[in-house]
Chains A and B, each alone.
Chain A
């Protein structure tokens, strides 16, 4: 940049910023808001995913390899086998058992899902010392069992501590000072475990999450009944010059021993994080795109603001041009100014985004908990990469939005200073192109027909669907402005009586580019909010219908420890039998679900009494089964039902043959039906419980549902069972329905927040547009005042103009929202989650949105009008 540009920046741009600090601040704030929303969603997403793997890593550092059974657990007998096969390879083998537990329900409190869930990590705490990561011997001599002078040797304290029964090690983040004991619901029991101490860490290790408890491996195995079983084995190559060679050799050996995934799957470092990332990728992408759409509204706004600045400074630019400053120089100065603005806005956006993420992270965390796996992020971290992205986004948006105004500014002819009234209508001429608008809408119609982008592990991303949404919003915004002349004609009668109205409508009869811009921005926000409202309403109606059809039993029982989608807490077979054969129970059934690896992703293999399931509480069918053998446990061993999500995710339909991994070897089944299941996005395969028990050699169950005998009050039976089984969560039918809907609304909490921000930003945009318009019309305002217009009348005129714009944008926005709602339901949601939803219109919500936007638009415009009425003819703004 040359000396002239710098001089101009200092003398010309900087002076403006200084003289009108309010406007400058507003512009920066808008940019910051856009960047902030995007960044906060990204950070919250990342935090939710990042919390996934921290568990073992906090103790051991990153593993080199991990082996895991394709279904169920691994027998502990593989450990000596592995050590034997590994020979003298310098490798630490770390068998891990993981369990989940929750805080016990508070007596008297309403039994709701979402109580704190903890991960219990079982590792050999003595062998951990071999890793030389934790401080010396810290796990060996717990603070609760300090060494004493009477000890025969250094190991005495260790022996005392580990003979004392199961003890928990807690995170420093859990409580400032460790409690003596903690009560937990594990499976169907409530246990009180002594606290041994705080998990020791080194400064380099990742922070220990608050919801992580560490227990000695053998003790946890005994607690959760996983004797002689482990969930996974992690391998850490000992450091040294040969470590890389050892890692490679180990990987090959593990793959060979694992029988190509038959016995176990070998995953590389970070792959578990990858699994978590894959699992939630669709969900996170959806949120990110939604935040990008919010940024689109912001982009319109920045454009409006910069355009306004051009209007205000046009006289100066004309002078500069007449003084011989070249067009290119002016354009450069203008873009440099935009860039500075973008950077400042981006930086402020980072701050806003970080603050917003602290709020969002809880909501995202709750959703991830409900749908995917247990996570406990309390804060989101701003990384260097995210900071660069935020600044880049601010810069990019400012340059993109500043491009056209910069051109306009540079092209200002000196003559225009002499004849302000002939100032050309500003704004991008594209916005006046009906062809472009129709083209966008046409292309959107084509794009909705395209299939989703398929990601690894059965993940899907509806790229074409989102592109269609974007084009629809953009094209709809352009086309909508063509409604303005129609509306003004319709409103003619009104205008006859009121001079202020006449003036307002006169301006709108031939809408300027600026008017079009305001409409496009407002339409974008309204359409998005409306579309989202339609999606949520449709979802809610569908879920309600599904719940009513499928929830037929009177009582539903699960472990009170089961508070998240990944919970492994179960009910023992003995208890399940005791419940189903209770004298007050007419009939009962159980459901068990095991996570399995399938086609590179993770899904659920569930078992229930199919006869009972189909006869007593049939699901909503997507494809009803016709094979009657399904009802007969002696003939249905090779038959399976799949959920709609599973079908969509793995592209499997009725008649397909599946090979399911089980601890007793792979099992082949045929798909005979597809049912709707809105509770689970990963999908599930349902087989008869009798076969599943045999395959998994495991008779514990996940849920029990009971039908009470006639004349029995479910509430009193619930009270009785709660007394007998304090570790169980027991829901009556009504209560469970309520809980499902509550969780459902929680899932959409962030989306609502985003849309409200969008509408807010768009209304600001409307105000900015009117301010620019009024500035442009200073001569006219002077004339009107001279003609006897009062300040109120001038403001009224602006209010009428704003109201008309808002109404037109609302009409267009609601129309586009219908299309967008359909797009979200039938394309984007179906492609991402595989759920078929029925279409429902939330009339009241949409009406409220329309009234709110129009009224706010009118009020804000009136306020701007009052400000504009005071403008002196030749004041430099």
Chain B
């Protein structure tokens, strides 16, 4: 792996192919791994059989878990907004209780104004995550499946092709202080995607650096957005939702990651997800991955390269983040080389991490192909730039 590093720095595309192969092999060789970490927290297992709606709910036997919604909203009048709604859950070291952290953010593309808020609560009356289905609360914020709790669970048959998940709508109630509020109905328009190997996603060389990674790559949004003291406005749009469950996200030498989700405008609709695990010396960890999602919702890994075209320095944290980024890979259908440039809709989309202790950049972007045509919308997440992450 060390021998690969200089090549990796020189030309991302070629070694990217190697990277995803190594990742896949590492995943396969790793089995059967330990079921728990040394501190007793559960570890994701390859070949895990997911049960829904139970697995949309919380898994307190794992140390960390998050439900991550990002999306693009368009008002009837044509105004554009980007939003983020994230619910984190963390189990205490003694497993007696849990912490719930939540982040909400809204970008008003017209004005470039970026608002965000964090909320931190112990598990209890003001914050909880159901172990039965998708039902998350943190103060006045909530994300719930519209399906009734107690519906009979459906186990997947590992040998059979994964059954399509029910396209049950969800409801998100969120906002930022008394400045912004949104009530959004989110309906999956594509089936649930299991990234990695059937939902088992490796993040580093250590066996513990892995997660279960479930995604709704495209959710149709219909709802209301209230800005300031103005009357609520009707909005539509599309969102992406990740659900990741892990006990340790990062390997020893990793300091953070870059993550991108792209929703293309083509038909049938395709998406792309990549995470790039960054090492202490700034290079890309071989465990990094780019996966296409086909029109039918099948994930396929492809090699990739990551090129930072410009940077932005935060006045709040002093961190320097990539701003415009070019991603090169091969097309899912044709295998031809393609590249996409991500252009943030506003430079200032940093969440300062006052409560959670982690500052990161999470922003809405436009996506352009090599010919300069706008081909989709994206969200980009950049972590570990303010200081190295550790979990």
Contact = CB atoms under 8 A, between A and B. Distances in A.
B40 interface: no
B41 to A, nearest CB: 10
Contacts of A108: none
A88 B173 contact: yes
B99 A83 contact: no
B218 to A, nearest CB: 25
Number of chain A interface residues as a range: 35 or more
B152 to A, nearest CB: 26
Given A88-B140, A137-B355, A155-B90, A242 B178 contact: yes
A242 B179 contact: yes
B228 interface: yes
B16 interface: no
B94 A237 contact: no
B92 interface: yes
A492 to B, nearest CB: 87
B29 interface: no
B172 to A, nearest CB: 10
A136 B354 contact: yes
A127 B120 contact: yes
Contact of B120 (A87, A88, A126): A126
A136 B317 CA distance: 14
Interface string A85-99: 011111111000000
A237 B90 contact: no
B6 interface: no
Interface string B167-207: 00000011111111101000000000000000000000000
Given A89-B140, A153-B390, A238 B177 contact: yes
A337 interface: no
A240 interface: yes
Nearest to A82: B125
Nearest to B93: A159
A246 B99 CA distance: 28
B140 A152 contact: no
B90 A80 contact: no
A243 B176 CA distance: 12
Contact of A240 (B179, B354, B358): B179
A155 B358 CA distance: 11
Interface string A58-88: 0000000000000000001001100100111
Contact of B181 (A79, A83, A90): A90
Contacts of B176: 240
A90 B177 contact: yes
Interface in A120-172: 124, 126-127, 129-130, 132, 136-137, 151-156, 159, 163
Interface in A222-276: 237-243, 245-246
B226 A155 contact: no
Contacts of A124: 121-122
Interface in B121-144: 121-122, 125-126, 137, 139-142
Contacts of B175: 88, 90
Contacts of B121: 124, 126-127, 130
Contacts of A240: 176-180, 228
A79 B140 contact: no
Contacts of B140: 83, 86-91
B228 A242 contact: yes
B391 interface: yes
A240 B357 CA distance: 24
Contacts of B118: 130
Contact of B178 (A90, A130, A137): A90
Contacts of A156: 93
B371 interface: no
Contacts of A246: 178
Contacts of A80: 125-126
Nearest to A136: B354
B373 to A, nearest CB: 39
A217 to B, nearest CB: 10
A152 B180 CA distance: 35
A92 B139 contact: yes
Contacts of B358: 154
Nearest to B179: A240
Interface in B215-255: 226, 228-229
B174 to A, nearest CB: 8
Nearest to A160: B93
B33 interface: no
B125 A83 contact: yes
B92 A241 contact: no
Contacts of B137: 83
B354 A132 contact: yes
Contacts of B94: 159, 163
B166 interface: no
B228 A241 contact: yes
B93 A239 contact: no
A129 B390 contact: no
Contacts of A87: 140, 173
A651 B174 CA distance: 52
A80 to B, nearest CB: 5
B356 interface: yes
A88 B183 contact: yes
A237 B354 CA distance: 20
B324 interface: no
Given A237-B178, A238-B178, A240-B228, A129 B120 contact: yes
A809 B260 CA distance: 96
B119 interface: yes
B120 A130 contact: yes
Nearest to B94: A163
B63 to A, nearest CB: 8
Contacts of B122: 124, 126-127
A85 B180 CA distance: 20
B27 to A, nearest CB: 24
Contacts of B93: 152, 156, 159
A152 B357 CA distance: 13
A79 B121 CA distance: 14
B169 to A, nearest CB: 17
Interface in B79-100: 90, 92-94, 96, 99
A31 B139 CA distance: 59
Nearest to B117: A238
A151 B354 CA distance: 18
Interface in B365-391: 390-391
Contacts of B92: 159, 163
Which of A76, A127, A132 is packed against the most chain B CB atoms within 10 Å?
Answer: A127
A522 to B, nearest CB: 64
A154 B357 contact: yes
Given A88-B181, A90-B175, A153-B390, A130 B139 contact: yes
B252 to A, nearest CB: 12
B214 to A, nearest CB: 23
A623 to B, nearest CB: 48
Contacts of A126: 99, 120-122
A76 B124 CA distance: 11
A640 B31 CA distance: 77
A137 B354 CA distance: 8
A832 to B, nearest CB: 44
Interface in A367-410: none
A245 to B, nearest CB: 7
Given A79-B125, A83-B126, A90-B177, A130 B355 contact: yes
Interface of B: 90, 92-94, 96, 99, 118-122, 125-126, 137, 139-142, 173-181, 183, 226, 228-229, 354-358, 390-391
Interface of A: 76, 79-80, 83, 86-93, 124, 126-127, 129-130, 132, 136-137, 151-156, 159, 163, 237-243, 245-246
22 contacts: A86-B140, A88-B140, A88-B174, A88-B175, A88-B181, A88-B183, A90-B181, A93-B139, A124-B121, A127-B121, A130-B121, A136-B354, A137-B357, A153-B390, A163-B92, A238-B177, A240-B176, A241-B178, A242-B178, A242-B181, A242-B226, A242-B228
The 5 closest A-B pairs by CB, nearest first: A240-B178, A154-B357, A240-B179, A238-B177, A241-B228
